[in-house]
A and B are shown apart, each in its own frame.
Chain A
C-alpha cells in the first residue's frame, strides 16, 4: 500500500516564476492538506482540500492556490515566486468521517523548492 507520494522531489525556480507541486494521497484517503516548512521551523498550514473544494485556509496570500481532482490527488500552485517561498512543501492526507471528524494525517516526503 503506497503512502503519500509527492512530485517532484526538488525544484529550482527564479523569482517571479510560477510552480506546480503534485500530491497523491494514501490509498483510502479523501482529504489533502498542504503545509510549508521553512528551514528549522515547524510545518505551517497552507490549505486543505476535500471533495474537490478548498475547505479551509491558513494565513497565506492568494499567490498560493490549489486544486483537488476526482481521484483525490492534489496540486499546489504558487505564482510570482519570492525568495521567501523557498521551503519544503509537505502534503498530508487523511480520511474525513462525514463532516465532523478526521483520521490521522500522514505526510509525504515533501518537495524542496528553492527560489533564486
Chain B
C-alpha cells in the first residue's frame, strides 16, 4: 500500500505565483520528511527536509509546513519560476530502527510554471 500519499498529480502555476504540494502519511514511526526535485533524465535531488520536532522550515523560496497531529506536510514554492518546472516527490523515513533510512515516496507532482 502507498505509505505516503501526494497531491495534486500535476500543477500549473503562473510565474511569480505560489506552488503548493501536499502529502499525507499513516506511519507515526516516520521521523524524517524530505522533498526531492527531479528533472527529466536525472535522479532526484534533495530540496529541503524536516523532522517532526518543528512545524515549519524555510530555505530560500522553499518552505515545508508540517502538521504532526494531522500527519500531513506540504511544500510551498514562493515566487515560482519557469526553472522550477520539474517533478516533486515527498518522502518519509524512519531514520532509526529496522527500516533505517528506507525512503517511502509519494507518486510525485509534475509542476509547470508558465512565464
- Chain A residues proximal to chain B, CB less than 8 Å: 4, 31, 33, 35, 40-45, 48, 55-56, 58, 90, 92, 94, 96, 99-102, 104-110
Contact = CB atoms under 8 A, between A and B. Distances in A.
A90 B103 CA distance: 12
Contacts of B49: 104
Contacts of A100: 96, 100
Interface stretch (B38-46, B52-60, B74-82): B38-46
Interface string B1-36: 000001000000000000000000000000000101
B69 interface: no
B43 A56 contact: no
B95 A90 contact: no
Contacts of A40: 107-108
A4 B4 CA distance: 25
A45 B103 CA distance: 7
A105 B36 CA distance: 11
A42 B102 contact: no
B46 A56 contact: no
A67 to B, nearest CB: 19
Contacts of B36: 107
Contact of A42 (B34, B41, B43, B107): B107
